[in-house]
Amino acid sequence: MAARLAALLLIAVGISGFCWLWRQAQQANAAHDWPIAAGRVERSAVEWRPRRGGGHSDQREYRADVVYRYQVNGQTYRAGNIRIPDAGFGGSPTLAQETARRYPAGAAVQVRYHPANPQQACLEAGAHWSTRAGQLLMLLFAAAGITLRLRG
């Protein structure tokens, strides 16, 4: 009974996670066609936090903290997404530093914004490789669940 429940849980998590990431990738790719507004970077830095999870309290995770301002139809907005979905924290300080350097404070930027919801914006369109990797991982979860279910 426990193996059956675990199999169903793996299948459900795998399929729902894949579908969520698929939607995120579709939106990231749709951002190529979003209108562009002129913007200005207000803040650009690398932030860190202790790595989450057991036994990793002495390690750090990093991300570029970039905040920019832009106007659409006379309304001023602030956002912080480089991409959609936001990649969040990762293990590489170098990647976070490179991203922060691409968008220094005070720099003019082209902001892609969702035409129906201008407060949703990004600086780079297209699905990041990590989204595709997440989709693959979710498919592996579902496959593991199916395999468990067939064996049980």
Domain ranges of the chain: 1-34+126-152, 35-124
The whole-chain average pLDDT of the chain stands at: 90
With vertex at residue 77, the alpha carbon angle to CA 43 and CA 26, rounded to the nearest 5 degrees, is 95
pLDDT band per the 50, 70, 90 thresholds, residue 1: confident
pTM across the whole model: 0.74
| The token pair that represents 58 in the structure block | 């002495």
As a whole-number percent, the residues of the chain with pLDDT over 90 amount to 58
pLDDT (tens digit, 9 = 90+) per residue, 19-46? 998 988 888 888 999 999 999 999 999 9
pLDDT tens column, 126-146: 877 778 888 999 999 898 888
Within 31-151, residue ranges assigned H as helices are 93-102, 129-151
Q: At what angle do helices 2-30 and 129-151 cross, to 10 degrees?
A: 160
The confidence score (pLDDT) of residue 117 equals 96
Count of CB atoms situated within 10 Å of the CB of 59 = 11
